[in-house]
Amino acid sequence: MIGLWNESAQTYLLVLAISTTLVFALPIFLVPLTWARLMRWRIPQDIDLAVYFGRCLGAFILIVEALMLRAALTGEALHTTFEVLAAVALLMVLVHVHGAIKRIQPWTETLEIGFYAGMFVLTLMFWPAL
């Protein structure tokens, strides 16, 4: 059962990446409340939306944490993990700068710009040799 269609693995990843980027990633990143309305959340009365987004974000953070732990303990996927960390840090800087400019986040979130910028620099400084 596992790997039954392994010869099409790359095609599967391409189709999955394109479809989930268009349906989930970009809309949630660019227009989260519009996406939420399309998914039938009741805005603003449905405060469970914040819990939902928080759990989704937490799930992805846990994936990144697992990647870091595996790479740290075994050296497996070390370069890939650093690529993910650099991308996370850079995008989180952009998210927090956007929130700061629009004044739609508490000051504690604005402070995270420094954290993620520092994480980006440190990730580049510790980048593993090929």
Structure confidence at residue 90 (pLDDT): 98
pLDDT of residue 22: 95
Is the Cβ–Cβ distance between 17 and 30 less than 8 Å?
Answer: no
Report the alpha-carbon distance of residue 84 to residue 78 in Å, rounded: 10
- Hey, where are the domains in the chain? 4-124
Q: Which residue has the tokens 């989260």?
A: 32
C-alpha closest to that of 105 among 115, 95, 114, 118: 95
For residue 110, what are the CA distances in angstroms to 106, 116, 118? 7, 10, 14
Tokens, residue 124: 């580049």
pTM of the model: 0.84
* Per-residue pLDDT in tens (0 to 9) along the chain, 130 residues: 788 999 998 998 899 899 999 999 999 999 999 999 998 988 888 889 999 999 999 999 999 999 999 999 999 999 999 999 999 999 999 999 999 999 999 999 999 999 999 999 999 999 999 8
